[in-house]
Amino acid sequence: MLAASSRWRAAVHHATSAARRLSSGSVTITDPLNYWAGRRRAGQEKCSTENVYEPATGRILCHLELCGADEVNQAVKAAKSAFGYWSKMSGMERARIMIDAAHIIENRREEIAEMEVVNNGKSITEARLDVDSARLCIEYYAGLASTLAGQHVQLAGGSFAYTRREPLGVCAGIGAWNYPFQIAAWKSAPALACGNSMVFKPSPVTPVTAVLLAEIYAKAGAPEGLFNVVQGGQETGSLLCHHPDVAKVSFTGSVPTGQKVIMEMASKGIKPVTLELGGKSPLIIFEDSDVENAVKGALMANFLSQGQVCSNGTRVFVQKDILPEFVDEVVKRTRAISIGDPLLESTRMGALVSRLHLDKVLFHVQQAKAEGAKVLCGGEPFVPSDPKLRGGYYMSPCVLGDCTDDMTCVKEEIFGPVMSVLSFETEEEALRRANDTTLGLAAGVFTRLETSRAHRVVEHLKAGSCFINNYNVTPVEVPFGGFKMSGIGRENGQVTIEFYSQMKTVFVEMGDVDSLF
């Protein structure tokens, strides 16, 4: 997800002048990745561990120490203690610390981006943009921290009421593996701006960079325990969600896991929940579109982060009259995508996040072929020429033609570099088919001559984040989130303040009680 297309161009044409600190295959992490009460924490003697792999090479990157009930309790206790202090600070005081954190991120941009590449496998060009988005998000909510206010309501007889916007307490953030550092910032920035503290659990697949954010907040002057990191899988996440001192849960991940979170939350108590889940989003390209621009939009809608983006427009509906021209151009551009070492400036597609996930995506391509789709390009394992990369998790980006709405590749989220192209004839048909899904995270429309049509179509698309003549542009100033089974609540934008705070109403009587008794 990109903060803005101009930043994408800037990153492409203005690569950092700093010397490369890391190279693929050269990194081994031994420092603890859990963090609470102001420092990294080593696991207990009997704690469970899991291997974490470097996607570019397939090497073991580190051994992750998983948090159990004791560790989660310690992290939540630290967060609760910090909340008592942080929530009493003025918005301006909180904002100063958040701005300082943003400046540190800006100064350490290349270091953080490189570590994100090592842990996630995406290209260094994209990783820089993710770090930028994290910084911008913290800056944005720092600006809102001092604006949080209630309302005064004048009532009869001189009495009045007022409202207070108050923090919730300790918030739990649960991140996904596709945008590890960015998601940690997207969840923590609004929470901290509102006066909350946070315990964050990254994906166990990409656990490395969240602890960097914790150290950055601490260096900026945040109280010990304000932002904590606990590592682990579903068990750790469940312990965190159900902890009695956790007041709110924000989760990014798959639909099945999100359903489990919300059902368990509802069955064991009432807590505010934000869910940012999956999508199977439509991209509708009308015959009056600038085909070259539409092709670029389709590539951005499908191949960012090796296709591992929840909002991707993987169902590409192209109006029949321009279908041959569009397909020819999109296949040509897809074949030209540079695959390989994600730390090289020339690379545009790095490695998928894990061997298991790569195998799953490749299976989807084979299944699409078996169901009648035509592989127009890609969809195969890719082996780089560099020997150290040959154990990595690479595949060639894939375009599927002759797709129909009943195919698995069109109905289910693949979460990889696989574009399904479908044709349509009328606007009404395109809308009906685009909305024929239980998901509703995003949608896009390309049309050039009929401006009114773009707005008319967007009005009828059942999706929370819609794009006109662009795709996957996510400035932090605007809300991001889905309809239907794609989630609850929003991230980014001013409205997110409402999801990390609560409203208290106070009535003040200025006269005597008018009693009925």
276 is catalytic: yes
In the Cβ-directed half-sphere of 374, how many Cα atoms lie within 13 Å? Answer: 7
Task: Give the residue from 183, 419, 387 showing the smallest Cα distance to 306.
Answer: 419
Q: Are 191 and 169 in contact (CB under 8 A)?
A: no
Q: What whole-number distance in Å separates Cα of residue 54 and Cα of residue 24?
A: 8
For the chain, the farthest-separated pair of C-alpha atoms sits apart, in whole angstroms, at: 88
> What phi-psi label fits residue 232: left (phi over 0), alpha (psi between -120 and 50 degrees) or beta?
left
The Cβ of residue 388 has, within 10 Å, a number of other Cβ atoms equal to: 16
Q: What whole-number distance in Å separates Cα of residue 494 and Cα of residue 13?
A: 32
Q: E strands of 66-105, at which residues?
A: none
Q: What whole-number distance in Å separates Cα of residue 418 and Cα of residue 408?
A: 12
Looking up tokens 């989630």 gives 487
Q: What whole-number distance in Å separates Cα of residue 392 and Cα of residue 117?
A: 13
CA dihedral sign of residues 105, 107, 110, 115: negative
Bridge partner list, 488:
275
Q: Are 4 and 475 in contact (CB under 8 A)?
A: yes
Q: What whole-number distance in Å separates Cα of residue 104 and Cα of residue 94?
A: 16
Rg of the chain in Å (alpha carbons): 24
Task: Give the residue from 49, 104, 102, 394 showing the smallest Cα distance to 232.
Answer: 49
Q: What whole-number distance in Å separates Cα of residue 484 and Cα of residue 182?
A: 24
Q: Of these residues, 276, 329, 413, 491, which one is catalytic?
A: 276
Q: What is the SS3 string spanning 416-477? A: CCEEEEEEECCHHHHHHHHCCCCEECEEEEECCCCHHHHHHHHHHCCCCEEEECCCCECCCC
Take residue 206 and report the two structure tokens written for it: 């990409």
Q: E strands of 175-236, at which residues?
A: 197-201, 227-229
Active site residues: 276
